[in-house]
Amino acid sequence: MTRTASLTLFIDADACPVKDECYRVAARHGAQVYLVSNRRIGVPRDPQITLVVVDEGLDKADDWIAERAEAGSVVVTADIPLAARCVGAGAQAVTPKGDILDESRIGMALASRNLMTDLRSAGQQTGGPAPFAASDRSRFLQGLESAMRRAARAGV
């Protein structure tokens, strides 16, 4: 496997249920990992893993990630607008459930998100996302591996 020094993994960490999986995949690829949060969280002692604590405030963690995302990086987030910003900068994006949000999918994901937001604003009961399941973890690993490989090729 080709290791790319510039391969970087950004994790929108506050509510990410797949941090441990991210660490394993990043280690296999020799990637630098940045967990971005607005509060302190436990992280493994590893020179390849850095916790970035941003100021509290709307979109502070998103802004930090989006300002640094580029070709050769992968962003793990359930935040569709953040994913769109990162994809627009050339990064790969994957949700904790393994959905790869690339140029061909991000527009539809944003449209769906905006529709659901509008329905909720109008008082419509839309329900929440399905609970995170073991099958989601497996699907995430596949999606992250694919995104890391694509980012490695893009970062060359």
| pLDDT attached to residue 113 | 58
CATH number at residue 54: 3.40.50
Residue 131 lies in a domain: no
Residue 3 lies in a domain: no
Cβ neighbours of residue 129 under 8 Å, at least 6 residues apart?
none
Q: Count of residues for the chain?
A: 156
| pLDDT attached to residue 2 | 40
- Looking at the structure of the chain, the number of domains it has is 1
Residue 38 · residue 55 · CB < 8 Å: yes
Residue 1 lies in a domain: no
Residue 63 lies in a domain: yes
Residue 21 lies in a domain: yes
Q: Alpha-carbon dihedral of residues 85, 70, 136, 60, nearest 10 degrees?
A: -50
100 forms beta bridges with 94
CB atoms within 10 A of CB 78: 15
Boundaries of domain holding 51: 8-126+136-155
102 forms beta bridges with none
| pLDDT attached to residue 133 | 84
Residue 71 lies in a domain: yes
pLDDT per residue rounded down to tens, the chain (156 residues): 344 447 999 999 988 999 999 999 999 999 999 999 999 999 999 999 999 999 988 889 999 999 999 999 999 998 989 999 999 999 999 999 999 988 767 766 666 656 556 656 777 666 666 777 888 999 999 999 999 999 998 865
